Amino acid sequence: MSVPFNNTYVQLPERFYSRQSPTKVENPGLIRANPELAQLLDIDPAWLSSDDGIATMAGNLLPEGADPIATVYAGHQFGSWNPQLGDGRAILLGEVIGTDGERYDLQLKGSGQTPYSRMGDGRAPLGPVMREYIVSEAMAALGVPTSRSLAAVTTGEPVYREETLPGAVLARVAKSHIRIGTFQFFASKEDKEALGLLVNHVLERHYPNAVEAGASSNSKALMLLDEVMQAQAKLVASWQMIGFIHGVMNTDNVLLSGETIDYGPCAFMDTYNPDTVFSSIDHGGRYAYRNQPGIAHWNMACLAQALVPVIADKEENAIEIAKDALDKFPAYFLDANVSGMQRKLGLASHHDDDEILAKDFLDLLEAHQLDFTLSFRRLSELSGTAPTANVSSLAGFPSAFDGWMARWKTRLDTEDNPTRQQDMLSTNPAIIPRNHLIEESIVAATTEGNFDLFNTLVDNLATPYDLTGVDVRFAKRPKPEQVVRQTFCGT
Ligand code: AMP
Ligand code: MG
């Protein structure tokens, strides 16, 4: 079997999905395959890059054991309720048990229409597929829980948007594609049975150790909420630590597994400014950098509300219990955020003044319009003897930082930490997926069919903490004229 499928979601009742095969495409061509990820999935990397592998990733060939479905969900998009969404341009081929013992979904994105396509064509243009490949793999290398990219292929067919663009398909891997919106769909249908089944499915799959034997179904729902909140708090804190702005934190884009998904209008912040927002459709800045933790809390409230019917038998009790549970989210986030910032500053212990130290550094970055990533990287280099490949030519601190630097050094001296610099250099990346480079690679591929920059980006981003042998161009912040201020949804 080319892909060792072991499917469980299709064993849920049929109202959870529609059976749907991918639509064949004219002329599949490989953009890039991910041999390391293939190995994790017990898929032969040589097969993946073969004609059969490429045809499979394009949806032209169904491997043995695949049971393709489109899943149904609902969701709040920019705060507005949408009762009927679902995989409109994605098809779940099935699940695979990885060599790490974890279960993974294998999904094709851009593989044709499904019953949930509404007005859409079910297709994906090349640009968004490239962006998702680059950023999701970079996030994985940065240690952030995320969906992954197994392969990207061109379809040989045009996709019609405001302009005619080359079409592509992304083979996406995630621990599951179950979203807050999946729960919301069944809650809105008042389908308590489905909610209970989904609670069990998600707990077994993602939080098998959370539930004690014999736990009641009500307590299971509450445990699920708590686990998801903790995972989400950690996830969003990890985004804040690297300046990642998701851009569409709609409830249909929040996975219960705690992985990042849907790299549509996402981007990394260059100059530190917490009001940064990239998405062309986010006019109010709802999903700006500084709002991500608050929105995550809002999203958790949507999950809690969807779980109300299964949290307690009496609705008023359930609402009280859910509210109390939700109140824990800010502390979960703060915890993750404080310890994340501590690591970024090279601190192994916690002092009361550390939060102020961190805030003052960020305020200085903002006031002097410094680059978020390079500033923390430079700080790491200054914490000891700088490595040969360093960012000294790309980042520095004006004299306004002198006072802060002295405070930081004094604080560092309170700890005897021989691994500090190594820790800082493996916490603060030198290379992130810079928006201007992603855009440049998309233009080169779309207009000339040239994937050189795309491939170099993916290669360099696989080792984001190491500048050795890397052209400094990939670490540099954009020049003012290179800054890309807006990104567009991948639709
Ligand atoms: P997104 O904003 O990418 O999370 O997508 C929101 C919803 O729109 C999901 O249900 C998608 O499946 C659907 N959708 C987005 N683009 C397309 C498309 N080109 N064809 C069909 N459905 C789409
Ligand atoms: Mg989505």
C-alpha 274 – ligand 1 centre gap (Å): 28
186 and 305 assigned to the same domain:
yes
Residue 128 structure tokens: 């968004």
In a domain, 186, yes or no: yes
39 and 165 assigned to the same domain:
yes
Kindly list the distances between the CA atom of residue 383 and the CA atoms of 360, 376, 396, 412, in Å, as whole numbers in the listed order. 18, 11, 13, 9
Sign of the torsion angle spanned by Cα atoms 266, 270, 276, 279: negative
Distance from the Cα of residue 182 to its chain's centroid: 18
Query: What proportion of the chain, given as a percentage, has pLDDT over 90?
Result: 94
The Cα–Cα gap between 176 and 364 comes to 40
**Atom number, ligand 1, closest to the C-alpha of residue 87:** 12
25 and 156 assigned to the same domain:
yes
Q: Is the CB of 117 under 6 A from ligand 1?
A: yes
CA-wise closest residue to 99 among 4, 222, 17, 14: 4
Phi, psi of 19 (to 5 degrees): -70, 130
307 and 363 assigned to the same domain:
no
Residue 491 has what pLDDT?
59
Average pLDDT, rounded, for the chain? 96
Q: Is the CB of 88 under 6 A from ligand 1?
A: yes
Q: Is the CB of 181 under 6 A from ligand 1?
A: no
The Cα–Cα gap between 392 and 399 comes to 16
Burial of 402 (0-12, 13-18, 19+ CB in 10 A): exposed
Q: Running DSSP on this structure, what letter comes out for residue 257?
A: T
Whose tokens are 């809650």? That residue is 187
In a domain, 106, yes or no: yes
Domain that holds residue 159: 9-174
Q: Give the tens place of pLDDT for each residue, 55-109.
A: 999 999 999 999 999 999 999 999 999 999 999 999 999 999 999 999 999 999 9
30 and 153 assigned to the same domain:
yes
Mean pLDDT, rounded, for 172-183: 98
Whether the CB-CB separation of 4 and 38 falls below 8 Å is answered with no
163 and 206 assigned to the same domain:
no
Residue ending a domain, among 174, 191, 223, is: 174
The Cα–Cα gap between 203 and 174 comes to 16
Whether the CB-CB separation of 33 and 49 falls below 8 Å is answered with yes
Residue ending a domain, among 174, 205, 224, is: 174
Residues annotated as catalytic (active site), given as ranges: 252
145 and 194 assigned to the same domain:
no
In a domain, 335, yes or no: no
C-alpha 29 – ligand 2 centre gap (Å): 25
Mean pLDDT, rounded, for 319-328: 98
312 and 198 assigned to the same domain:
yes
User: pTM (2 decimals)?
Assistant: 0.97
DSSP helix/strand/coil, 274: coil
Mean pLDDT, rounded, for 15-34: 98
- Judge whether residue 114 has pLDDT over 90: yes
Residues in the chain: 491
In a domain, 341, yes or no: no
In a domain, 277, yes or no: no
Mean pLDDT, rounded, for 185-191: 98
Total of domains in the chain: 3
- Judge whether residue 21 has pLDDT over 80: yes
150 and 250 assigned to the same domain:
no
Whether the CB-CB separation of 411 and 243 falls below 8 Å is answered with no
In a domain, 359, yes or no: yes
Residue ending a domain, among 119, 140, 174, is: 174
Q: Is the CB of 132 under 6 A from ligand 1?
A: no
In a domain, 128, yes or no: yes
**Proximal ligand: closest to the CA of 147:** 2
The Cα–Cα gap between 22 and 109 comes to 10
The Cα–Cα gap between 3 and 94 comes to 9
In a domain, 233, yes or no: yes
Residue 490 has what pLDDT?
59
- Judge whether residue 489 has pLDDT over 80: no
C-alpha 253 – ligand 2 centre gap (Å): 5
160 and 186 assigned to the same domain:
no
170 and 184 assigned to the same domain:
no
187 and 163 assigned to the same domain:
no
